[in-house]
Each structure stands twice: as structure tokens, then as C-alpha cells.
Structure 1
């Protein structure tokens, strides 16, 4: 659980924060997301699908950080994801083997697109579909809340 929060502090806190100080939100989103995804490149079982899924996760967390201005929320989300993936479901977490307390998941070598193989569910099509859906929802909510028309309405209500 500490690892998820540390990664968020480093990527969305430090790296993104430094770039946001220069008022470059799109650059901040892209640069810290690429750093996050590349930081996992040495993990066991990494492949293109896993890397894309990590990038989608990072983009989603970056937009959530902008939307909520909270590192605690994204750190908690990331830590809960890692905890559920490893401790509850007993799968590898980004290629790092974990111990199982509730369920024991065994990867089937014939179905890596479904179960992610040794990298874990983060290298699966299931994660890709869920990640894209979450990115669309978070992006849409951020766009709606930050659109000039909505900002103008909020100013008039005050």
C-alpha cells in the first residue's frame, strides 16, 4: 500500500507539481504519465499492453489530481487497487508477485490477454477496457467542470 502512495507522491505530486508551477497542465499530465509508465518497464512480464494500461491509469490519475487537487484521493485509489489486486485476489501487481489472503489466482499461460500473465491483470484486455472507460468518465467530468461556460455560471451564482 505504501508503494502506490509513494508512486503518486513522486509522479503526480513532485513531477506534475513542478510542471504545474509553470502553468502547463497538458505537459504536466503527459510528462508525469510517461514517467510513471516507463518506471514500470523493468518489471517482470511487461509488454506493450501492460505499458499502455499503465499509461492510461497514469493519465486518469493525473486528470483526477487536477480535478480534485488531492494527492490523498489518488494515492488511496492507487493503494486500494494494488491491495485488491495482490492481497485480496492473489495476482501479481505490475509483475511483482504477491501473497494471497483471500483468493489465490493462478495465471493460465494460454490466456495472457485475459488474465495478464505474470504481469498481472494490468496486462489484460479487461484492464484496457475498464481503464479506457474510467479515463473517458474522468476526462468528461473534468472538461464539463472546467469549461468556460460552467466557470461563468459559477461566477454568476456567487
Structure 2
């Protein structure tokens, strides 16, 4: 028997408490320990700077020459707040945003987004529901390419990098997937043409984006997917994106037919065609995430699985 063990019980020797444990750094470390504590600390430390950036952009960036800088400004503020939160509260490096391999994953995601929307447009065109009337605007397409990359970074950092990831540490992958999907849909509830059906379709997109994050445990694939998804609709095929169309795309086009097929005023992402293709992509990402062992249990289930070895197992 090991000399530090008594029969039937484990002798635990507590470490000596040094005077440094009462230092401000130690107290801060204790206050930020645990997934629940980190989740609530994220609200003031990341959420508040982002809200203030939105207020500043809407109140003081109203001149026409400043409108194009709104999203870049908010993106920079959010990136800095997120990096500071990860460094000082989670006490780690931002591995989910590491640069090695970023270009490849971003391009793959962009390709997936273009592919899903392109396939949905092709199917809609075969049914007679999508008609191209001519060329649109190259300048408009470039504007949307720039606009949607910032939208993708902002939303993926908030919903996947922060909300989903921190919730996952508490309620596990399934629970965080459900909650973040509901909140993603609600965040788009004020968009023109939004209703229960369109928000359900956005929920499907949220699941796909989240599973892309779970599969890689990095942000680049889901950012690229979101970027390509939005740009393909508005910038390439000239369709509304979540009910909005801020600039003409590369093609001047229109849709006709039942709302369930075309997506109506909300856009193609509310079409049953897009929903079916998204479901297939979700299955691919989800299966690959399971294969890689990236699915996580709730914190209470993980705690129950930790047990002390019995004396008979210790030699």
C-alpha cells in the first residue's frame, strides 16, 4: 500500500496557504473562476464596450463619409474587449482566433456559404422562381463584400466565440446550441419581413454556424461561412439578406412563386430549399465534431464523472 494512504480512505494533504493568497491578483483570480462566473463577467467586460460602440456609431458617425466606418469601428472595439476578457479573466491565449491555418479555414467557410446559396438559387431557377434581368453593380457587390465580412466577424465573435462558448462550459454543447440559436433568431426579429418561419430558418443557419465552430473549435470557418452566405445572397445574386438590401449586387434579379419556395421578402435563406441544404451541412459538421470528440457535457455531468481512485487501485 502507498505510504500516503490509509485503508478505506484517502489522506489529503492541504497545501500551505501563503500570504500572497490575499493579494489583489489572487482575489481577482478567485472571483473569475468557474464557467458561470466567467459568463457573467463577460456582460460588463465585453457586452458594455460593444453597446457603447454601437451608441457612439449611431450618434456621432452619422455623416455620409463616416457610415462606411461604423462596422469596422464596432469590430475593432469588440475584438479588443474580447481579447482582454480572454487574457485577464480566462487567463489564456485566444486560441480560437489563432492565425496559423486561418486563411484556409476562412476560404473553406466562404466556399461553403457560396455553395449552399448557389445551389439553392440553381434549384429555384430550375423551378422558374429566379430570373436574372441583367447586370447589377460591381461597385455595389464590392461594397457588400466589405460590409458582410464585418457583419460576419461581429456576429460570430458574439454568438459563437462568446455566448455559445461560455454557455457550453455551463450547460454543455446541446444546451448552449439551443440557447444561442434562440438568441440568434431573436436578435434578427426586428428585420423587415421577419416572422416565425423566417426566424426558424435563421435558427437553422445558427445551428450550422455553431456546429462549424464545434467541429474546428476555431472561429475562422464559421466567419467564412457567414460571410460567404450573406455575400452570395446580396452581393452576387442580388437578393435580400435577412429582409434587407443595402446595395445592388452583381446581378439584377427577382424571384417569383410561393413564399415557402422563394423565402418571400425576407430572402432566400427563408426558403425550404435553403433550409434543406443547410440541414445537410449541419449533419456533416455535427458528425465530424462527434468524430473529433469535440462534443462537451454540462459542467455538473463533468463534475459527477470525477471520482477519487479506490485504495485497491493504488499500488
Match for 2:288 among 141, 145, 154?
141
Deviations 1:81-118 (A, max 9, x none): 1111101111000001242332122233x422221111
Count, aligned residues:
147
Larger Rg, first or second structure (1 or 2): 2
Unaligned 5+ runs, structure 1: 148-158
In structure 1, how many angstroms separate the alpha carbons of the residues matched to 2:201 and 2:281? 12
CA contact (8 A) 2:216 2:289 kept: no
1:49 corresponds in structure 2 to 197
CA contact (8 A) 2:244 2:266 kept: yes
Unaligned 5+ runs, structure 2: 1-147, 295-315
Match for 1:101 among 244, 249, 270?
249
Instruction: Report whether the alignment pairs 1:85 with 2:233.
Output: yes
RMSD: 1.9
Q: TM-score, normalised by structure 2?
A: 0.44
CA contact (8 A) 2:213 2:219 kept: yes
Instruction: Report whether the alignment pairs 1:74 with 2:222.
Output: yes
In structure 2, how many angstroms separate the alpha carbons of the residues matched to 1:41 and 1:80? 22
SS at match of 1:135: helix
**Higher strand content, 1 or 2:** 2
Deviations 1:117-137 (A, max 9, x none): 110001111111111111122
